[in-house]
Structure 1
Amino acid sequence: MNTKADELLAFDRRHIWHPYTSATTPLTTYLVESAQGVRIQLAGGESLIDGMASWWCAIHGYNNPILNQAAKDQIDSVSHVMFGGLTHRPATELCKLLIDISAPNLNHVFLADSGSISVEVAMKMAIQYWQAQGKGNKNKILSPRGGYHGDTFAAMSVCDPSTGMHHLFSDAVTQQVFTDRPSCVFGSKFSPSSTTDLENQIKENKDVLAAIILEPVVQGAGGMWFYHPDYLTRVRELCDEHDILLIADEIATGFGRTGKLFACEWASIEPDILCIGKALTGGYMSLAATLATSKVATGISKNGGVFMHGPTFMGNPLACAVALASLRLLLESDWELKIQNIQQQMSSTLEPATRINSVKDVRVLGAIGVLEMNDTVNVETAQAFFKDEGVWIRPFGHLVYIMPPYIINESDLNTLCKSMLSFANSLC
């Protein structure tokens, strides 16, 4: 590695605070020189196959010429303009497309900065909706344990309060209502008893519940847990029975990751509010959206009411233009077949892990492959191991998982899976 690269890494280690790490004894970082397709090129010369799609957003891989061109074309027109009192073509065309491809009942779009903010917006929508109906006491959110919805304060309040990464803030965040994690495993026979605690919590708290928030079918950063779609069906029924709004957090699951365009489609349900982000721009820049029904939008707006949120970079034209190009690229591709092929290959290649002593469980759904280990994984050790294997995989907790770009070929996906098996064997 050259001297300049060494200087950059030394500065980074001394002064830059990376996510979920110590400022004084940080995890090792690797300097990226460039990225192309599914490969990340390091300054030291190593080329790594990316198994993470940069935290699940780079579904088309890196340096995509169509997305590059969309950004170049837009930046020559207007890169940003305030969204208060002004609008523009990229935002209007993007919102129209989002309404066209999402659940039929969702026809109002609020553009946000990031996934966490889209959750904050959704929670504010739910609470403000009930305020407008004269029911300000309905201001609590119910969330299944094992869930993860972001790192900002309201979002933290609906993440798992005990096992989640935000337990340090349990005394500082708003106290919400929690129910048992969905116990009914995806692909197994549904057990009605899996919603017993949910039903009890709703009956006990229905007068104060504004909404239920959940990640449909896949609980992501809370444990990569895949649960039965019939659980979603029952949640929708209970919300309707008890006059509670349903917020679907599809930030991680939206845009094909589970094998459906949106994970709610596994249960054929329509949420009242939908949160999307991550893959929205194909990993090019931060953008998210919160979609709502007319019931929610007009309910908030009646009697002259206005929704009280307005980010500075809301509707950023550059991000909207790239998002529009990314969604068109996805929808015009044979994405369903790609996801099916990825799932089939991961299922067969990772199957030997069921016989490795360090592995507790193997789970595959859509373009998500997971090894749940018996013990917590040392991230520093794992990152170094995978780098030497020529892949980029970043575990967390007990989980070693991959969510690769959809464009990955059979050979590169095989390398990722074999590296996961090698790592699991190294722990025995």
Structure 2
Amino acid sequence: MSQFDTFFDYKHIWHPYSSMINPLPCYTVISAKGVYLKLKNGKNIIDGMSSWWSAIHGYNHPILNKALKKQIRKMSHVMFGGITHPPAIALCQNLISLTPEKLDCIFLSDSGSVAIEIAIKMLIQYWHSLGQKRKLFLTIRNGYHGDTFAAMSVSDPENSLHKIYNNLIPKNLFADAPISSFHKDWNASDIVSFKKIIEKNSSKIAGVILEPIVQGVGGMNFYHPTYLKKIKILCNYYSIPVIFDEIATGFGRTGKMFAFEHANVVPDILCLGKSITGGTITLAATLTSRHIANTISKSKSGCFMHGPTYMGNPLACAVANANIKILKTNQWKLQVLSIEKQLFKNLQPLINHPYVIDIRILGAIGVIECSHSVNMFLIQKFFVENGVWIRPFRKLIYIVPPYTISSHALKKLTNVIIDALNNIKLFL
């Protein structure tokens, strides 16, 4: 790739959460294999982000590649309206086999944010079918559910990512985030805020939406499983459906196939995405109960009013089936457990570091909360120069490596983080 091509990118291509006037540098990746990204200068760097949680088996996995090649010879896409195909049927069978028995109706889409939009629309239409115009949703602070409008409306309104849209999006209800962390004792006062809000507004609430156990980029907090149990008890009491957003955590990231399994509860709607295809191509799914699906289908319209063009994309469904086949060998359990143990060993001692506020580890997720915000330009440059790809934000340095990472490569990731923490120039 020529220097001119890089300059073209700088001048014309808008990257995520970036400026067109003064963009952060972009590092050109020309190929990827295993846990390594190869830069245009020939340097290989270890990917600590799994391409934003998705590439759980690393890159260029032979089984996933084979599934893609086999399917593309048949067809890469066909509309899903009035048509079905074997990859979509097989995928839905696979998803039903992995998830609780209650979740037996599946709506496929093309991204995680859209899966959330679909879940929200499902519950609005569900209540409309019952003759009630419920539009309010209850969630907790520090949450993040995506960048589309309904998804933003149930993400923390104080989140700087979405704050400028607050006057445009629906106003929903936000309970205080729990303070009881996953590995510590349960504090009964955590549920008080949520309980007060649901008691006061139970006749207006269409649904509750949560990221189970792990709150993602809203703050990377891991809360106590008892909190999720208490939420489900309250929702069952008031007959309010619950949406679990497992887009980031689904398919083994927390040490369970799905994070809600830590609390032994079952949602009424489940949203999946990111790693559903092993990080190869975009796909998402919204699973719900037969009761909700049938209630919507008995409405005046007689159908659910949504239909993405690339819904049920055969190429994506085929590779998702291959991904699930890999997961069903259960090797991921040992891989994630090994990563978790090493993260505790390598990162937990940093709790005494002068620039560290907290260390949070669960499954294949490691989070360092710093006392100062990172300087994104400098710290990204530092990481790349030292052979790793880590994408921090605000005061958080976190890694979500592929499950296939070796102990040597993981040690490299954590060592470079330690070196970064010892360099105050990398922080604002």
Q: Which amino acid aligns with 2:15?
A: H
SS at match of 1:96: helix
CA separation in 2, counterparts of 1:43 and 1:364?
A: 33
Q: Which amino acid aligns with 1:121?
A: I
Number of the residue aligned with 1:175: 171
CA deviation vs aligned residue, 1:284-325 (integer Å, no higher than 9, x gap): 111000000011101111156210000000000000001110
Number of the residue aligned with 1:340: 337
Aligned with 1:93 (options 86, 90, 94): 90
Q: Does residue 308 of structure 2 align to residue 311 of structure 1? A: yes
Number of the residue aligned with 1:411: 408
Q: Does residue 322 of structure 2 align to residue 325 of structure 1? A: yes
Q: Does residue 236 of structure 2 align to residue 254 of structure 1? A: no
CA separation in 2, counterparts of 1:104 and 1:190?
A: 29
Normalized against structure 2, the TM-score is what?
Answer: 0.98
CA separation in 1, counterparts of 2:135 and 2:358?
A: 38
Q: Which amino acid aligns with 1:140?
A: L
Deviation at 1:168, TM superposition (A): 1.1
Deviation at 1:139, TM superposition (A): 1.2
Number of the residue aligned with 1:82: 79
Aligned with 1:240 (options 229, 232, 236): 236
SS at match of 1:34: strand
Q: Which amino acid aligns with 1:266?
A: H
Deviation at 1:110, TM superposition (A): 0.2
Residue segments in structure 2 that go unaligned for 5+ positions in a row: none
Deviation at 1:264, TM superposition (A): 0.6
CA separation in 1, counterparts of 2:159 and 2:14?
A: 24
Residue segments in structure 1 that go unaligned for 5+ positions in a row: none
SS at match of 1:405: coil
CA deviation vs aligned residue, 1:219-262 (integer Å, no higher than 9, x gap): 01111100001111011111111111100000001000000000
Answer yes or no: is the 8 Å Cα contact 1:195–1:231 preserved in 2.
yes
Aligned with 1:51 (options 45, 48, 54): 48
Answer yes or no: is the 8 Å Cα contact 1:38–1:405 preserved in 2.
yes
Answer yes or no: is the 8 Å Cα contact 1:164–1:222 preserved in 2.
no
Aligned with 2:365 (options 365, 368, 389): 368
CA separation in 2, counterparts of 1:271 and 1:427?
A: 44
Deviation at 1:332, TM superposition (A): 1.3
Deviation at 1:411, TM superposition (A): 0.1
Q: Which amino acid aligns with 1:410?
A: S
Q: Does residue 406 of structure 2 align to residue 427 of structure 1? A: no
Q: Does residue 133 of structure 2 align to residue 121 of structure 1? A: no
CA separation in 2, counterparts of 1:183 and 1:302?
A: 42
Deviation at 1:187, TM superposition (A): 1.2
Deviation at 1:280, TM superposition (A): 0.3
CA deviation vs aligned residue, 1:336-368 (integer Å, no higher than 9, x gap): 111111000011101221121111111110000
CA separation in 1, counterparts of 2:384 and 2:160?
A: 27
Number of the residue aligned with 1:32: 29
SS at match of 1:332: coil
SS at match of 1:141: strand
CA separation in 2, counterparts of 1:243 and 1:54?
A: 38
Number of the residue aligned with 2:387: 390
Answer yes or no: is the 8 Å Cα contact 1:148–1:164 preserved in 2.
no
SS at match of 1:352: helix
CA deviation vs aligned residue, 1:357-409 (integer Å, no higher than 9, x gap): 11111111000001001111111111101001100001011100100000000
Q: Which amino acid aligns with 1:109?
A: I
Number of the residue aligned with 2:282: 286
Aligned with 1:12 (options 9, 19, 34): 9
- Single out whichever of 34-43 and 416-425 deviates more from structure 2: 416-425
CA separation in 2, counterparts of 1:155 and 1:328?
A: 30
Deviation at 1:198, TM superposition (A): 0.1
Number of residue pairs aligned between Structure 1 and Structure 2: 424
Normalized against structure 1, the TM-score is what?
Answer: 0.98
Number of the residue aligned with 2:66: 69
Number of the residue aligned with 2:292: 296
CA separation in 1, counterparts of 2:253 and 2:420?
A: 24
The percentage of aligned residue pairs carrying the same residue is 49
Number of the residue aligned with 1:217: 213
Q: Does residue 351 of structure 2 align to residue 354 of structure 1? A: yes
Give the ranges of 4+ consecutive aligned residues of structure 1 lying more than 2 Å apart after TM superposition: none
CA root-mean-square deviation: 0.9
Deviation at 1:161, TM superposition (A): 0.4
CA deviation vs aligned residue, 1:114-149 (integer Å, no higher than 9, x gap): 00000000000011101101111x211111000000
Answer yes or no: is the 8 Å Cα contact 1:158–1:176 preserved in 2.
yes
Aligned with 1:200 (options 172, 196, 203): 196
Aligned with 1:268 (options 245, 264, 272): 264
